[in-house]
Structure 1
Amino acid sequence: MSRVFASPEGLSPSSPVAARHAFVTLVTNSEYALGARALLRSIRLTRTPADIVVLHTGAVSASDLEPLTEFDCRLIETELLPLSDAFNARHQRRNVHEQAPFTKGRKPGFHSPLDNFCKIRLWQLVEYERCVFIDADALVLHNIDKLFSYPEFAAAPNVYENLSDFHRMNSGVFVAEPSVATFEKMLAALDAPDAFWPRTDQTFLQSFFPDWHGLPVTMNMLQYVWFNLPQLWDWRSIGVLHYQYEKPWEKDHPRADALRPLIDLWHAYLTGDRIPDIAALANPAHAGPTSP
């Protein structure tokens, strides 16, 4: 049965809550609206009873959001966070990319650092006991409802190049417990004097939750693992596939040849046509251990 809650300041939901838990994503432009279509289909195919919530900024048009309604999601329009002018200036795309350039992959032109901080609005969704956030450039490959039993704050390590990456988290998937008090504390810490978060929400969340709980890498499998660490890749165990850096819908994709099987899989979820048996997919080839 649907439950009615007062809408927190800065949020405008399209429909009432219908479950105790929710998968949440963020759409800030037409590109991520396209990504969300594949993500939402993938979540619905797991037959989860949880709500699906799409936080979206005013920059997303009604026509871009309309295809998402097919998946019975709650659309919640969100204002940008009430941050200082100095904070906003420091975190403009040009400033972030110049001061903390991406050297391992290419961020697309529609990447907007300031928009990323809207993820923090998730803590205002107090109608839910627990939420699992998933970036719109991801797919859920099997039921992951067990994540709702994980504590706050839980995220997977940012592993995509080598095992030294385990000390950093990736905020593309995380488990959180909504709370107005936590949200207010986060806003104060986020906009502290001279604060600069080079990887935007990811750097901030790791700072705010220094004792974060580790999810398995399979709950946020980053696409570069496919060619950098193929020995970690096992289709049968991957819960969430995350297309970090280049996006599978980009036409000008410098890694397209190396990531072709992953790109083809994303397009199958986008259209719903010929989605394969995930467990039957071939893992990337790699040199295994030599026999003694």
Structure 2
Amino acid sequence: MAGLLAEAPPRADRAYVTLVTNADYARGAAALVRSLRLTGTTADCVVLHTGGVPDADLDQLRALGARLVRTDLLETSAAFNASHARAALHGAAPFTKGGKPAFHTPLDNFAKLRLWQLTEYRAVVFIDADAIAVQNCDKLFGYPEFCAAPNVYEGLADFGRMNSGVFTARPSEATFAAMMAALDVPGAFWRRTDQSFLQHFFPDWHGLPVYFNMLQYVWFAMAELWDWPQIRILHFQYEKPWQDPHPKAAELAPLIALWRRIADGGEMPPLAELPRP
């Protein structure tokens, strides 16, 4: 497949897919893959990785049984690349609710669209590398394309926007080609990169419950929504749990501790024993 190079053949016809663009996100992806395996899934865990990831940082993912697929960045125009570079994007559309770490590279986010080229799979679920699975999510493979949870972490108005940290897809070269035709058009500016583009491309997106993509800020901003027995995926939007120092270490301490437990090789604790906001 043009733009993709897999290290090994698939072992299943379904896959969880994540994207790794540097060593920091490789660390996050390792915790994600560990958490998925702890849920008992038999689906493949695919890591799309760009040239920005040293091979040594991929070794842990190989050891965890992830299927590594080298991906090229999208072939976008110079004007598109300039407007979506970190300084330009954050200058035109700054993040005002939380902080993105210095290793966040917004232009690279668009490479996740290459998962539509993984046509060896009948169904995929994308999960950002800054997330962990809390419970089994295999039911998502039976959901249609395109399903995503709303970008809820501050108030009811958030329900009108989707978050692309978790979504369902059906790989198709035809869909990928249509995306490429719609992505890099004159004057294109996708305020939140792939997230804004996917909401545009799939205007009738199916809404998943927020528990399939529970954003960490809900912990302190909308505590009444937090319900461990219902949460399937915990997503560390904005600050990452491996950052040290962590700008919101006090506010998010229990969630950071859970991520570190999984990343360090521990088991998922009984949900009833986890602290509540």
Q: Does 1:13 align with 2:6?
A: yes
Mapping of 1:32-51 within 5 angstroms?
A: 32-51=25-44
* 2:196 pairs with one of 203, 207, 222: 203
Q: Which residue of 2 aligns with 1:287?
A: none
Q: Secondary structure at the match of 1:22?
A: strand
Runs of 4+ in 1 over 4 A off after TM superposition: none
* 1:124 pairs with one of 96, 103, 117: 117
Code of the aligned partner of 2:60 = P
Q: Secondary structure at the match of 1:116?
A: helix
Deviation at 1:145, TM superposition (A): 0.2
Q: Does 1:229 align with 2:222?
A: yes
5+ long unaligned stretches in structure 2:
none
Code of the aligned partner of 1:49 = T
Q: Secondary structure at the match of 1:82?
A: coil
Q: Secondary structure at the match of 1:166?
A: helix
Q: Which residue of 1 aligns with 2:103?
A: 110
**Partner Cα separation in structure 2 for residue 151 and residue 195 of structure 1:** 28
**Partner Cα separation in structure 1 for residue 13 and residue 4 of structure 2:** 19
Q: Does 1:218 align with 2:222?
A: no
Q: Secondary structure at the match of 2:11?
A: coil
**Partner Cα separation in structure 1 for residue 59 and residue 271 of structure 2:** 28
Q: Does 1:22 align with 2:15?
A: yes
Q: Does 1:239 align with 2:232?
A: yes
Contact 2:145/2:169 (<8 A) preserved? yes
Q: After superposition, what is the alpha-carbon deviation per residue over 1:237-273, rounded to whole angstroms, capped at 9, x for unaligned?
A: 1000000000000012111100000000000000113
Q: Secondary structure at the match of 1:147?
A: helix
Q: Which residue of 1 aligns with 2:160?
A: 167
Mapping of 1:18-97 within 5 angstroms?
A: 18-97=11-90
Contact 2:153/2:217 (<8 A) preserved? yes
State the identity as a percent.
62
**Partner Cα separation in structure 2 for residue 174 and residue 21 of structure 1:** 14
* 1:134 pairs with one of 118, 127, 132: 127
**Partner Cα separation in structure 2 for residue 232 and residue 239 of structure 1:** 14
Deviation at 1:20, TM superposition (A): 1.1
Q: After superposition, what is the alpha-carbon deviation per residue over 1:106-154, rounded to whole angstroms, capped at 9, x for unaligned?
A: 0000110111000100100011111000000000011110000110000
CA RMSD of aligned residues (A): 0.8
**Partner Cα separation in structure 1 for residue 143 and residue 112 of structure 2:** 19
Deviation at 1:280, TM superposition (A): 2.1
Q: 1:274 to 1:131 in 2, by over 3 A?
A: closer
Q: Does 1:150 align with 2:180?
A: no
Deviation at 1:226, TM superposition (A): 0.1
* 1:264 pairs with one of 254, 257, 268: 257
5+ long unaligned stretches in structure 1:
1-7, 285-292
**Partner Cα separation in structure 2 for residue 13 and residue 278 of structure 1:** 36
TM-score, normalisation: structure 2: 0.99
Deviation at 1:283, TM superposition (A): 1.7
Q: Secondary structure at the match of 2:149?
A: strand
**Partner Cα separation in structure 1 for residue 276 and residue 101 of structure 2:** 27
Code of the aligned partner of 1:151 = P
**Partner Cα separation in structure 2 for residue 269 and residue 104 of structure 1:** 27
Deviation at 1:275, TM superposition (A): 3.9
**Partner Cα separation in structure 1 for residue 275 and residue 249 of structure 2:** 18
Deviation at 1:274, TM superposition (A): 5.5
Contact 2:254/2:275 (<8 A) preserved? no
Q: Which moved more, 1:215-224 or 1:246-255?
A: 246-255
Bigger Rg, structure 1 or 2: 1
Q: Secondary structure at the match of 1:107?
A: coil
**Partner Cα separation in structure 1 for residue 270 and residue 254 of structure 2:** 13
**Partner Cα separation in structure 1 for residue 273 and residue 41 of structure 2:** 22
Q: After superposition, what is the alpha-carbon deviation per residue over 1:71-109, rounded to whole angstroms, capped at 9, x for unaligned?
A: 211100000101111111111100000000000000000
Code of the aligned partner of 1:261 = P
